[in-house]
Amino acid sequence: VGSVSAVVVRSPTGSERRTAPTEDEVCQPDPAGGIVECEYGWRPALLDEIRRSTRPGLWRFAPLLALPDDVPPHPMPVGNTPLLPAPALAARFHLGQLWVKDESRSPTLSSKDRATAMVLAYAAHRGIGTVTCASSGNAAASLAVLAAAVGIRAVVFVPEEVAEAKLALMLVAGAVVFRVRGGYGAAYALSRTAALEFGWYERNTGVNPLTVEAKKTIAFEIWDDLGGRCPDVVVVSAGDGVTAAALDQGFRDLVACGGASRVPRLIGVQSRGCAPLVEAFHGDGSVKEVEPQTVADGIAVGSPVMGAAAVAAARSSGGTFVAVVDDDLVPMASAVASTTGLLPEPAAAAAFCGLTEARRTGDVGRDEEVVVVLTGSLLKTPFVGRAAAAPDRAGRVHLVDARLDAVAEAMAEAR
């Protein structure tokens, strides 16, 4: 399959199985719940193929992905999200150069669309009728909407307390939705069991190898938008750790192809109320399950699927994992929105809070070039009431009669 030379499956118990790269090994979840890792025959010619490619969005990077060559792209425009300079925000962080990789410009406003599009493109090509996943909200909304576009049934498992706007997207797109008592962990376990029982194809993050492949394209696009080089540091929020691990893998692939001389330092960010990867990073490296206590639903993952890989990625790249406090998330979302016009949801705002922390500790220096990945949009996680309480630049509402003097009075007060 593509440039894959071998496949290594790491089981949850720590054992390893090495096999030939058949389509099934590369495109199907391991039934035993193992994580599938591909090894590639990297060569610089692959980068030339990418430069010549006329395929849309993330499909341009197909030569660097473990996807069968004959799979046509999903029809929705996924990938190719903007890498935006953020000078006013950089000044706030006392940083020379800050870029935001704005994944909220994806069809369903989160980076989850990359993995969904690849999984569904494969499913549509193979005539698969039902695709399932568990999700805190974004991946399920993404699966529901993108499945509708290719006439596939989506069956999604979400925590009972899923954000209303995310649930609304699932429903309007016609998905079968299970709200599961017991949080994301319980939803995840049930979705895996149901997939095996009913023969559904899984989009579950990390366990379907295509989900990891797809997220590498964020790294490829950052590299490409910077003119074929890597930044010093990439900061990203981490739940299951798949985005963090895949970003690092993507940068490593570019180095292996001769496209870059070094990978960026990876900084993963979690909420203090759910920080198993922070604890593992600063401890002995082993990831221990925690009970999630955070308002940032996307990163409320007590037992991360690719936790070990994400911690290893931060370590080997010379990066770190940092924890941030929930109370800072909404003010930070407001600070980002009011200085850049970009709209992070709380789980995505965590990455910006993590950058504040990394500047404070000196893990990121003033002269470094930093990219923050904005993974999801606050348009799907409205928190207007609390945003109004955010300090400094948050907007203010005035309830008035329709008279000009009421406007003048309010404006005088605002000054």
The residue count for binding ligand PLP (CB under 6 A) is: 20
Among 348, 358, 370, 378, binds ligand PLP (CB under 6 A): 348
In this structure, what token pair is assigned to residue 220? 């490829």
DSSP category for residue 349: H
Among 2, 231, 292, 298, binds ligand PLP (CB under 6 A): 298
In this structure, what token pair is assigned to residue 80? 């190719």
**What DSSP letter does each residue of 207-258 carry, written as one string?**
TSHHHHHHHHHHHHHHHHHTTS---SEEEEE-SSSHHHHHHHHHHHHHHHTT
- In whole angstroms, give the CA distance from residue 87 to residue 97: 7
Select the span of 5-13, 224-232, 332-340, 345-353 touching ligand PLP (CB under 6 A): 345-353
- In whole angstroms, give the CA distance from residue 210 to residue 353: 30
Closer residue to ligand PLP, CB minimum distance, 47 or 348: 348
Site for ligand PLP contains 354 (CB under 6 A): no
- In whole angstroms, give the CA distance from residue 58 to residue 400: 48
- In whole angstroms, give the CA distance from residue 333 to residue 326: 11
Among 36, 207, 222, 299, binds ligand PLP (CB under 6 A): 299
For residue 304, the minimal CB distance to ligand PLP (Å) is: 7
Select the span of 31-39, 136-144, 169-177, 362-370 touching ligand PLP (CB under 6 A): 136-144
Site for ligand PLP contains 376 (CB under 6 A): yes
Among 3, 116, 136, 334, binds ligand PLP (CB under 6 A): 136
- Enumerate the β-bridge partners of residue 386: none
For residue 22, the minimal CB distance to ligand PLP (Å) is: 26
- In whole angstroms, give the CA distance from residue 252 to residue 61: 15
In this structure, what token pair is assigned to residue 29? 């979840």
Site for ligand PLP contains 142 (CB under 6 A): no
Q: How far is CA 24 from the centre of its chain?
A: 25
Match 């080089």 to its residue by tokens: 229
For residue 208, the minimal CB distance to ligand PLP (Å) is: 13
For residue 300, the minimal CB distance to ligand PLP (Å) is: 9
In this structure, what token pair is assigned to residue 1? 């399959």
For residue 211, the minimal CB distance to ligand PLP (Å) is: 8
- Enumerate the β-bridge partners of residue 110: 376
404 in helix, strand or coil? helix
Closer residue to ligand PLP, CB minimum distance, 81 or 205: 205
Site for ligand PLP contains 364 (CB under 6 A): no
Among 375, 378, 383, 390, binds ligand PLP (CB under 6 A): 375
Site for ligand PLP contains 138 (CB under 6 A): yes
Helix (H) or strand (E) holding 35: strand 35-40
Site for ligand PLP in 67-86 (CB under 6 A): none
Closer residue to ligand PLP, CB minimum distance, 29 or 241: 241
Among 121, 169, 347, 378, binds ligand PLP (CB under 6 A): 347
Give residue 258's region: left, alpha or beta (phi > 0; psi -120 to 50): left
Among 3, 106, 108, 110, binds ligand PLP (CB under 6 A): 110
Select the span of 43-51, 121-129, 341-349, 393-401 touching ligand PLP (CB under 6 A): 341-349
- In whole angstroms, give the CA distance from residue 263 to residue 318: 9
Number of residues written out for the chain: 415
Site for ligand PLP contains 273 (CB under 6 A): no
Site for ligand PLP in 224-243 (CB under 6 A): 237-243
Site for ligand PLP in 189-208 (CB under 6 A): 205
Site for ligand PLP contains 345 (CB under 6 A): yes
Single-letter amino acid code for the residue at 164: E
- In whole angstroms, give the CA distance from residue 374 to residue 350: 9
Q: Which residues bind ligand PLP (CB under 6 A)?
A: 110, 136, 138-139, 205, 237-244, 298-299, 345, 347-348, 375-376
